[in-house]
Amino acid sequence: MSASRLVLLSKKLIKPSSPTPLSHRIHNLSLMDQMGTHSYMAAMLFYPKQDTTTSMPEPTKISQILEKSLSKVLTSYYPFAGHVKDNSFVECNDMGADLSQVRIDCPMSSIFDQPRTYIDNLVLPIDPWFPSTDSLVATQLCHFECGGIALGACLSHKVSDGYTMSRFLRDWAMVARDTEAKPSPLFNGASIFKPSNSSSFQVVKDPPLNKNVSKRYHFSASKLKALKSMIDSADSTSQIRPTTVETITAFLSKCVNTPTFTPSLLVQAVNLRGTSNDALVPADLTGNAALPFVVSATNKEEMNLQRLVIELRKGKEKIQDMLKYIESEELLCSKVSEIAREMNERTSNNDVSIYRFTSLRKFPVNDMNFGWGRPRKVDVATYPINMFVLMDNQNGDGLEVIVNLDEGKMSAFERNDELLQFASPCSGL
């Protein structure tokens, strides 16, 4: 497929439907936001025409719905229409969000025969790793010749993590369906994770970026059950029953280190938000609220599934206990900085392989109904680092994992017999 088959129809800057009050014109970044990278979170939502339970509106109507609802939702998410200044605050000047509209002259199904990086370039409005915009939000509506549509969305990591992005897209969809809906995101991160005024505070360093390939795998519910049973039966004395995330993280770590082992660090992100808005980190907090922990494997014997599950549980519980027993925001920020410093030290070793894991399970990534049904497929951009992204299967059957590795590692990984015993490669819509 040639690049000429993508035609730019329009590009607009969508401003909030109501001006931001002067009292809200400065939104201070939290310490977690300050520590974040300048890359963008990226998501792609695919809506084939024949999938919709209600009739798909005409293309002009779709663009009108998205423009109007984006303008309205930005009134609630007013910092997202602003501009970051000095890694310190967002100037909430109602600059707006980018919304492009393109025509792709082929059926939607045909693009899934192409490499995943090619799909990224078609559907996403910008390169999320080398952004070409000052806008904190960039979106793109894609019209395919079959009548289906895709929505690509990029949201700056300076104001968002994966949870925030999924909430923003869900609220945008909610407003598109109901113009009276009023989202209520919480923008009080700076009062919890107090920002630093010092230039010496710990920023989590960006890893080197590679030219990676990406593959998607499905673990059915029955295969997940079998995998958990295999781990349980290998150590009957263990009191730990592995969660789904622990099971898949340990299993994939072993697979990527087979047959050739290299000393490895497994980096797992933990969502710090509580289950209610009375928690130290409220459930509806908007912005960045995730911390990583590290599990190391210095030899092949340590790449043992039972051992990895135990270490993953310890790492998660250490962070959860930190939140449980910390009584002040000042101590919380001190701990966050300490973890960032440790992360930089441990991941700066060029002699180890680093594999990052993040889970979008139980996030509202499948609820993006703008009025023409839920998406058939939700996807993320290819990561230029070793990254595994866990997502719920949209049919409720287990989960899916998006694997990002360089070509050499991927070549060995996708031929791993144990992997293929439990996981099936995903293709197409």
Assign 53 a pLDDT band (cuts: 50, 70, 90).
low
- pTM for this model (two decimals): 0.93
Share of the chain above pLDDT 90, in %: 72
pLDDT for residue 202 is more than 70: no
pLDDT for residue 347 is more than 60: yes
Residue 51: per-residue pLDDT: 59
pLDDT for residue 359 is more than 90: yes
Q: Please give the average per-residue pLDDT across 259-271, as a whole number.
A: 93
How far apart (Å, rounded) are the C-alpha atoms in residues 355 and 404? 10
Q: Which of 325-339, 364-378, 410-424 has the lowest mean pLDDT?
A: 325-339
212-425 is a CATH 3.30.559.10 domain: yes
Structure tokens, 153 = 């969305």
pLDDT for residue 52 is more than 60: no
DSSP codes joined into one string, 250-288: HHHHHHHTSSS---EEEEEEEE---SSTTSSS-TTB-S-
Q: Containing H/E element for 166? A: helix 162-177
Domain range list for the chain: 5-192, 212-425
Which residue in this structure is represented by tokens 């092949």?
300
Structure tokens, 260 = 């050739």
Summarised one tens digit per residue, pLDDT across range 170-190 is 999 999 999 999 999 999 999
Reference 155, options 67, 77, 42; nearest CA is 42
* Per-residue burial over 380-406, b = 16 or more CB atoms within 10 Å of its CB, e = otherwise: bbbbbbbbbbbbbbeeeebbbbbbbbe
pLDDT for residue 2 is more than 50: no
Summarised one tens digit per residue, pLDDT across range 388-410 is 999 999 888 999 999 999 999 99
| Alpha-carbon distances of 271 from 162, 189, 274, 293, 325, rounded to whole Å | 9, 14, 9, 11, 17
| Alpha-carbon distances of 1 from 4, 105, 337, 338, rounded to whole Å | 8, 10, 47, 49
pLDDT for residue 112 is more than 70: yes
Do 46 and 302 meet the contact criterion of CB atoms below 8 Å apart? no
pLDDT for residue 1 is more than 50: no
Output the average pLDDT for the chain. 90
Q: Please give the average per-residue pLDDT across 41-51, as a whole number.
A: 90
Give the CATH class of 5-192: alpha beta
Q: 212-425: same fold as 5-192?
A: yes
Do 309 and 337 meet the contact criterion of CB atoms below 8 Å apart? no
Q: Please give the average per-residue pLDDT across 348-358, as a whole number.
A: 90
Residue 208: per-residue pLDDT: 77
